[in-house]
Each structure stands twice: as C-alpha cells, then as structure tokens.
C-alpha cells in the first residue's frame, strides 16, 4: 500500500526566505505527482503536476522536483511571502492511475 | 470558467440522520472523485466515476455511504444514519480525461459535523 509522508508537519519562516518542502512515498511505481495548496476552510488548489518522465516542473516562484527511484519530491518556494502561508500537500498517482494518495501536508507560516 | 462547486458548504446533522452532499464538476470533465478529509489529515479517496459509471468505490467506509452520478455530470454523496466518526470535510474533484493521471481540480468541500 502506497504511503506518502510529509515532514515536518509545520514550518515557520521569515518573509523572503527560500524554502524546501519535502515529500516521500514508499512505492516508486508512480505515474504522476501533484502538489496542492490548501487555505483554511477551503478546497485544494493544484500548484504543479509532475509527469513520471519529468524531473522537475516550474511555475513562477515554485519549482517541484521528482526522484522516483528514491521515492522523493521537493517543492521549492523562492522568496517566500506572507501570502504563501497555507498547508501544502503532495499526492501521488499510483498503479490505479486515477487515484491520488495524499500526505498529511505541511502547514507553512511566513512571518512578515 | 466556473470551477468545481459543492453544496452545502456546511452541514450539521444529528446522529442517525441521512445527509446528501452535492458536487457540480467542471463542465465537460469526464472523471469525478470524492475524498474525505478528517481534521489534520490529507484527503482519503472514497470513490471514482467515469461519466455515469462508478468504477471504484473501494474507499467508501461502510455501506452507509452511497454515491451516484446518474447523468454523468452532477454527483451526490449520500450518507445514511450518520455517525460521529463521519464528521469530516468531503471534497469533490474532477478531471478532464478518463483513467489517466490528470490534474484533479477540487471544490471547496462540504464540512459535515455530526452531533
């Protein structure tokens, strides 16, 4: 059974810092990996989807990498801003290609 | 264009009541998913529809949970005889294509509280 782990559960950084959020998964036989953002009381917003054949994907200040062999993905946020404060979740598509398995998320707080 | 919408946004039920949660996916999206998110946890898969066909319901916690998508667009998740452990946020998502690891677009969720 696929398990997705995100450590630490919470992170607090000062504004302007570059930061890395980690995600690990137990079964390397994944198709794609998707990073989401969740604001309190709201649904999930898709940030980036990395195809299994890709090593990384970029959108603005966000860069996500994928290393299937080691079962790891990272989300890099450049020049963090208070508006980046949210919970970030990673999820993987496994052998059932429609089914996402999520981590518990990392709650990020960016201090002004 | 409009995203995924869900109603109601909040639902309070007394234990033993039946509830129905509605999801309107993005127009034209073939695939529809329901997830359950408990407090402090990531979403957990409940069920998957491809058009009107329910292809996977392996995540439904018990036979009190039932989902349908009769015309291949709007979906309803019904919970019968609600229990306190059913309290969670229920998220609906849709994606454009079938049976492929596509970007899933999520609605705002319905927060269910069972007293």
Are A104 and B41 a contacting pair at CB < 8 A?
yes
Per-residue pLDDT at B2:
81
What would the pLDDT profile of B55-107 be if each residue is shown by its tens digit? 999 999 999 999 999 999 999 999 999 999 999 999 999 999 877 778 889 99
Measure CB to CB from residue A43 to each of B40, B41, B109 and give the nearest one: B109
Q: Around A43, how many Cα atoms within 13 Å sit in the side-chain half-sphere?
A: 24
**Cβ–Cβ below 8 Å for A97 and B99:** yes
Nearest chain A residue to B88 by CA: give it: A41
HSE-up of B103 (CA within 13 Å, CB side)?
Answer: 11
pLDDT, tens digit (0-9, with 9 covering 90-100), for A39-86: 987 889 999 999 888 899 999 999 999 999 899 999 999 999 999 999
Contacts of A31 in chain B (CB under 8 A): 101
The answer to whether B25 faces chain A, any CB pair under 8 Å, is: no
pLDDT tens digits along A94-112: 877 788 999 999 999 999 9
Q: pLDDT at position A20, please?
A: 96
Number of A:B CB contacts under 8 A? Answer: 63
pLDDT tens for B22-66 read 999 999 999 999 999 999 899 999 999 999 999 999 999 999 999
**DSSP string over A39-96:** -TTS-EEEEEEE-TT-SEEEETTEEEEEETTTTEEEEEESS--GGG-EEEEEEEE-SS
pLDDT at A18 over 90: yes
pLDDT at B1: 54
C-beta separation of B36 from B88 below 8 A: yes
What are the residues of chain A with a beta carbon less than 8 Å away from any beta carbon of chain B? 4, 31-32, 34, 36, 41-46, 49, 52, 89, 91, 93, 96-105
Strand partners, A90: A35
Q: Which two tokens stand for residue A38?
A: 């969740």
CA–CA separation, B66 and B44 (whole Å): 16
Give me the pLDDT at residue A41, please: 79
Residue from the list A43, A98, A101 with its beta carbon closest to the beta carbon of B108: A43
Closest Cα in chain B to A50: B103
B44 φ/ψ angles, rounded to the nearest 5 degrees: -115, 130
Residues B113/B8, Cβ–Cβ less than 8 Å: no
Closest to A97 (Cβ–Cβ): which among B6, B100, B105?
Answer: B100
Mark residue A60 as left, alpha or beta (left: phi above 0; alpha: psi -120 to 50; beta: remaining): left
User: What are the residue ranges of helices labelled H in B27-110?
Assistant: none
């Amino acid at each position: 059974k696929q398990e997705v782990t995100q450590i630490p559960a919470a992170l607090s950084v000062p504004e302007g810092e570059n930061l890395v959020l980690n995600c690990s998964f137990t079964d390397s036989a994944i198709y794609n990996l998707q990073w989401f953002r969740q604001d309190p009381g709201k649904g999930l917003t898709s940030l980036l989807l990395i195809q299994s054949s890709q090593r990384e994907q970029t959108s603005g200040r966000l860069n996500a990498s994928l290393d299937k062999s080691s079962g790891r993905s990272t989300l890099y946020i450049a020049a963090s801003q208070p508006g980046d404060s949210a919970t970030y979740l990673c999820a993987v598509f496994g052998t059932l290609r429609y089914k996402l398995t999520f981590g518990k998320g990392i709650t990020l707080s960016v201090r002004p | 264009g409009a995203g995924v919408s869900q109603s109601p946004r909040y639902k309070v039920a007394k234990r033993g009541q039946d509830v129905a949660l509605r999801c309107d996916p993005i127009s034209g999206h073939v695939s529809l998913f329901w997830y359950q998110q408990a407090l402090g946890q990531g979403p957990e898969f409940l069920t998957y529809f491809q058009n009107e066909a329910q292809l996977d319901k392996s995540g439904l916690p018990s036979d009190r949970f039932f989902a349908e998508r009769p015309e291949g667009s709007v979906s309803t998740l019904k919970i019968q005889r609600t229990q306190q452990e059913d309290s969670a946020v229920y998220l609906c998502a849709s994606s454009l294509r079938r049976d492929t690891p596509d970007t899933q677009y999520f609605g705002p969720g319905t927060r269910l509280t069972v007293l």
